[in-house]
Chain A
Amino acid sequence: MIMNFEYVLLIILLPLLSFLITGLTGMKYKPIWSGIIGTVSLGLSFSLSWFTAIKYFFAYGKIDAQGVLGDTFLKLTPWNINWLQLSPTLHIDMGIMLDPISVMMLVVVTTVSLMAHIYSIGYMKGEDGFVRFFSFLSLFSFSMLGLVVATNLFQMYIFWELVGVSSYLLIGYYYQKPSAVSASKKAFIVTRFADLGFLVGILILSYFTQTFDFKELVSPEGPVLGHPITAMFMGTSVLVWSMILIFMGGAGKSAMFPLHIWLPDAMEGPTPVSALIHAATMVVAGVYLVARLIPVYAIQAPAALEVVGYVGAFSSLFAAIIATTQFDIKRVLAFSTMSQIGYMMVGLGMSGYGGHEGLGYMASMFHLFTHAMFKALLFLAAGAIIHAVHSNVMNEMGGLRKYLPITHITFLIATLTIAGVPGLSAFFSKDEILVAAYHHNKFIYYIQLFVAGLTAFYMFRLYFRVFWNTEPHYHHTPHESPLTMTIPLMFLAFMAIFSGYIPFHDLVTSDGKALETHAEYIVMIPAILVGFIGIGMAWVMYKKETDIPDKISQSLRGIYTTIYHKFYIDEVYMFITHRILFRGISQPIAWFDKHVIDGTLDGMGKTTELVSDRIKGLQSGQLQKYAFVFVTGVIILLLSVLYFAA
Chain B
Amino acid sequence: MFETIPLTHILIVSTLMFFIGVFGFLVRRNLITILMSVELILNSVNINFIAINKFLYPERLEGLMFSIFVVAVAAAEAAVAIAIIINIYRRFSSINVEDVSEMKG
Residues on A facing B (Cβ under 8 Å): 616-624, 627-628, 631
Are A627 and B26 touching (Cβ within 8 A)? yes
A623 CB contacts on chain B under 8 angstroms: 97, 100
A-B contact pairs, 9 of them (CB 8 A): A620-B105, A621-B101, A621-B103, A622-B97, A622-B101, A624-B27, A627-B26, A628-B26, A631-B22
- A627-B26, A628-B26 known; A621+B102 contact, CB < 8 A: yes
A627 CA to B97 CA, complexed, in Å: 12
Interface core residue of A617, A618, A623, A628 (most chain B CB under 10 Å): A623
Instruction: Label chain A's interface by main secondary structure.
Output: helix
Nearest 4 CB-CB pairings of A with B: A621-B104, A621-B101, A619-B105, A616-B105
Among candidates A618, A627, A631, residue contacting B105 with C-beta atoms closer than 8 Å: A618
Are A624 and B97 touching (Cβ within 8 A)? yes
Known pairs A622-B104, A623-B100, A628-B26; list 12 more (Cβ under 8 Å). Answer: A616-B105, A617-B105, A620-B104, A620-B105, A621-B100, A621-B103, A621-B104, A622-B97, A622-B101, A627-B25, A631-B22, A631-B26
Among candidates A619, A627, A628, A631, residue contacting B103 with C-beta atoms closer than 8 Å: A619
Q: Is B98 an interface residue (CB 8 A)?
A: yes
In the complex, residue of chain A having the shortest beta-carbon distance to the beta carbon of B28? A624
Would you give the shortest CB distance from B23 to chain A, in whole angstroms?
10
A623 CA to B25 CA, complexed, in Å: 10
A617 CA to B104 CA, complexed, in Å: 8
Would you give the shortest CB distance from B19 to chain A, in whole angstroms?
10
In the complex, residue of chain A having the shortest beta-carbon distance to the beta carbon of B101? A621
Would you give the shortest CB distance from B44 to chain A, in whole angstroms?
15
- How many A-B pairs have beta carbons closer than 8 Å: the answer is 32
A620 CA to B103 CA, complexed, in Å: 8
A627 CA to B22 CA, complexed, in Å: 9
A621 CA to B104 CA, complexed, in Å: 4
Are B101 and A620 touching (Cβ within 8 A)? yes
Are A624 and B105 touching (Cβ within 8 A)? no
In the complex, residue of chain B having the shortest beta-carbon distance to the beta carbon of A617? B105
Would you give the shortest CB distance from B8 to chain A, in whole angstroms?
19
Would you give the shortest CB distance from B49 to chain A, in whole angstroms?
20
In the complex, residue of chain A having the shortest beta-carbon distance to the beta carbon of B100? A623
B98 CB contacts on chain A under 8 angstroms: 622, 624
Among candidates A618, A621, A624, residue contacting B26 with C-beta atoms closer than 8 Å: A624
Would you give the shortest CB distance from B77 to chain A, in whole angstroms?
16
A592 CA to B101 CA, complexed, in Å: 47
A619 CA to B104 CA, complexed, in Å: 5
A622 CB contacts on chain B under 8 angstroms: 97-98, 101, 104
Contact with A along B84-105 (1 / 0, CB 8 A): 0000000000000110111111
A617 CB contacts on chain B under 8 angstroms: 105
Would you give the shortest CB distance from A352 to chain B, in whole angstroms?
84
In the complex, residue of chain B having the shortest beta-carbon distance to the beta carbon of A628? B26
In the complex, residue of chain A having the shortest beta-carbon distance to the beta carbon of B102? A621
A192 CA to B3 CA, complexed, in Å: 91
A624 CB contacts on chain B under 8 angstroms: 25-27, 29, 97-98
In the complex, residue of chain B having the shortest beta-carbon distance to the beta carbon of A619? B105
In the complex, residue of chain A having the shortest beta-carbon distance to the beta carbon of B31? A623
A619 CA to B103 CA, complexed, in Å: 8
Interface of chain B residues 45 through 100 with chain A (CB within 8 A): 97-98, 100
A623 CA to B81 CA, complexed, in Å: 14
A620 CA to B101 CA, complexed, in Å: 7
In the complex, residue of chain B having the shortest beta-carbon distance to the beta carbon of A613? B105
B104 CB contacts on chain A under 8 angstroms: 619-622
Would you give the shortest CB distance from A378 to chain B, in whole angstroms?
79
A619 CA to B25 CA, complexed, in Å: 19
B22 CB contacts on chain A under 8 angstroms: 631
B105 CB contacts on chain A under 8 angstroms: 616-621
Would you give the shortest CB distance from B51 to chain A, in whole angstroms?
21
In the complex, residue of chain A having the shortest beta-carbon distance to the beta carbon of B97? A623
A619 CA to B27 CA, complexed, in Å: 19
In the complex, residue of chain A having the shortest beta-carbon distance to the beta carbon of B23? A631
B29 CB contacts on chain A under 8 angstroms: 624
Would you give the shortest CB distance from A632 to chain B, in whole angstroms?
10
A622 CA to B25 CA, complexed, in Å: 13
In the complex, residue of chain B having the shortest beta-carbon distance to the beta carbon of A620? B104
Interface of chain B residues 25 through 40 with chain A (CB within 8 A): 25-27, 29
A631 CA to B27 CA, complexed, in Å: 13
A620 CB contacts on chain B under 8 angstroms: 101, 104-105
B103 CB contacts on chain A under 8 angstroms: 619, 621
A628 CA to B25 CA, complexed, in Å: 9
A628 CA to B104 CA, complexed, in Å: 16
Would you give the shortest CB distance from B89 to chain A, in whole angstroms?
15
Would you give the shortest CB distance from A597 to chain B, in whole angstroms?
32
A620 CA to B102 CA, complexed, in Å: 9
A631 CA to B38 CA, complexed, in Å: 13
Would you give the shortest CB distance from A593 to chain B, in whole angstroms?
35
B100 CB contacts on chain A under 8 angstroms: 621, 623
A305 CA to B25 CA, complexed, in Å: 91
A627 CA to B34 CA, complexed, in Å: 11
Would you give the shortest CB distance from B12 to chain A, in whole angstroms?
19
Would you give the shortest CB distance from A619 to chain B, in whole angstroms?
3
In the complex, residue of chain B having the shortest beta-carbon distance to the beta carbon of A612? B105
Would you give the shortest CB distance from B103 to chain A, in whole angstroms?
5
A621 CA to B100 CA, complexed, in Å: 7
Would you give the shortest CB distance from B39 to chain A, in whole angstroms?
16
In the complex, residue of chain B having the shortest beta-carbon distance to the beta carbon of A616? B105
A531 CA to B102 CA, complexed, in Å: 95
In the complex, residue of chain A having the shortest beta-carbon distance to the beta carbon of B27? A624
Would you give the shortest CB distance from A367 to chain B, in whole angstroms?
81
Interface core residue of B25, B29, B100, B105 (most chain A CB under 10 Å): B105
Would you give the shortest CB distance from B21 to chain A, in whole angstroms?
11
A622 CA to B101 CA, complexed, in Å: 6
